[in-house]
Copies of this chain bind each other. A is one copy, B any other.
Amino acid sequence: MNDVINTFVTHRSERSYLDKAIPEDILTNIIESAYHAPTSVHSQQISLIVTRDKATKEKLAALCGGQPWIAQAPVFITFVIDLHKSAEGIKLTGEQQIAHESIESIVSGSLDAGIALGTAMAAARAQGLGIVPIGGLRRDPQAVAELLNLPPLTFPVNGLVLGYVDEPAELKPRLPMATFRHEERYSSENLLENIQAHNQQLTDHWQAIGRDGGEDWSHTVANYYKNIYFPAVRPALLKQGFGIDK
């Protein structure tokens, strides 16, 4: 198997880091990789903020709901949807940007941020680092925007912890492939059986690695998705100047 495929199929999130700095050339490779990722209509609507300052990492760890690995690891990167650059670029033509008034800008911005994030995660892991993506950055995105001095028409959409791993994590099982890969048309065939098989598999996994009280997949996802998750996202998007009604 080639190194690229091997990097992807061994993906795992790490939550235990050594107090060891990341050499500048390794970090630069990660950021260069994300920089070359494609964006919708070549809008280049992504920016990254690199945080190494301990006090800022501690504030971010708290804003993300108390995730100690953010402060523990040497580098945290904030992935920013950035329509500020395109708005300024368009002004040079005498036109005005209005795309940010549409929910499509949030879809394409989030998607492009995801491409950059997936790229950075693989580039980091391929160089011997551990990573954990931090969706908890969206618990209070307005506070993150203020902390990082983000201008209007930008939105901090996800974080990424980078560092050398102390206690490695295990690979986590997935729902059966038949629920992910569909040939020609979407198929819900055997969906409940596949979910039940995964529920059992995940409970067995927690038991095997000695995590007491580990829940099955249905209960894990229910804990989050039976509620409106991250309700501060909508007001923060609006405050930053994005629209959702078009």
Contact = CB atoms under 8 A, between A and B. Distances in A.
A224 B93 CA distance: 13
A195 B89 contact: yes
Contacts of A96: 226
Q: Chain copies in the assembly?
A: 2
A192 interface: yes
A33 interface: yes
A93 B225 CA distance: 12
A148 B182 CA distance: 10
A37 interface: yes
A201 interface: no
A69 to B, nearest CB: 15
The residue among A186, A188, A246 with the most chain B CB atoms within 10 A of its own CB is A186
Given A9-B32, A9-B33, A127-B2, A50 B184 contact: yes
Contact of A149 (B186, B191, B224): B186
Contacts of A220: 41-42
Given A47-B186, A100-B225, A244-B244, 4 more contacts: A4-B7, A98-B227, A115-B115, A122-B122
Interface of A: 1-5, 7-11, 13, 29, 31-38, 40-44, 46-53, 56, 80, 83-90, 92-93, 95-108, 110-119, 121-123, 126-127, 133, 135, 138, 148-151, 154, 157-158, 172, 174-175, 177, 179-188, 191-192, 195-196, 199, 217-222, 224-231, 233-234, 237, 244-246
30 contacts: A4-B126, A5-B123, A8-B119, A8-B122, A11-B37, A31-B181, A43-B221, A47-B182, A49-B184, A85-B179, A85-B195, A86-B225, A88-B191, A88-B192, A89-B195, A95-B226, A98-B226, A102-B231, A103-B244, A104-B230, A106-B110, A108-B229, A108-B230, A110-B114, A111-B157, A114-B114, A114-B115, A114-B118, A115-B115, A148-B184
